[in-house]
Amino acid sequence: MKNKISIKVLDRDGIYHILNIPTDMSLNLMEACKAYNIPVEGICGGMALCASCQCYIISSHDLVEKTDDEDAMLSEAFNVKKNSRLGCQINITKDLNGLEIQLAPQE
């Protein structure tokens, strides 16, 4: 599909969801999940201040580097793994087609 990418999300109940997300709406991964009613809270609204959008990156996509803010938040969050990222800090671009993520447990 033109201007849309497909992302696979494993939720906390072990269920996979396929999201078809437009690349031209300036969405981030947290917002994309919310648009599909996947239970990602996004309490801080995408400011890298809450970690409620934490997810684990399963596929081997090259993602944008973490900012200092994201690094700092993840260093304080629970259930952080090597492949943890804050969904709100990852913008939806064409390069993310086929991305696979898992939601981190809720704190």
Residues at the interface with ligand FES (CB under 6 A) = 30, 42-44, 46-53, 73, 86, 88
Output the smallest distance, CB 89 to ligand FES, in A.
Answer: 7
Closest distance between ligand FES and the C-beta of residue 46, in Å? Answer: 5
Q: How is residue 12 written in tokens? A: 């906390």
Q: Closest approach of Cβ 1 to ligand FES, in Å?
A: 27
Q: How crowded is the C-beta side of 62, counted as CA atoms within 13 Å?
A: 2
CA gap 81, 98 in Å, rounded: 21
Cβ proximity to ligand FES, 3 vs 64, nearer residue? 64
Which region holds residue 54: left if phi is over 0, alpha if psi is between -120 and 50, else beta?
Answer: beta
Least distance from ligand FES to the Cβ atom of residue 2, Å: 29
Q: Which two tokens stand for residue 105?
A: 């447990």
> Which one, 24 or 69, has the nearer CB to ligand FES?
69
Q: Whose Cβ is closer to ligand FES: residue 17's or residue 66's?
A: 66
> Which amino acid belongs to residue 65?
E
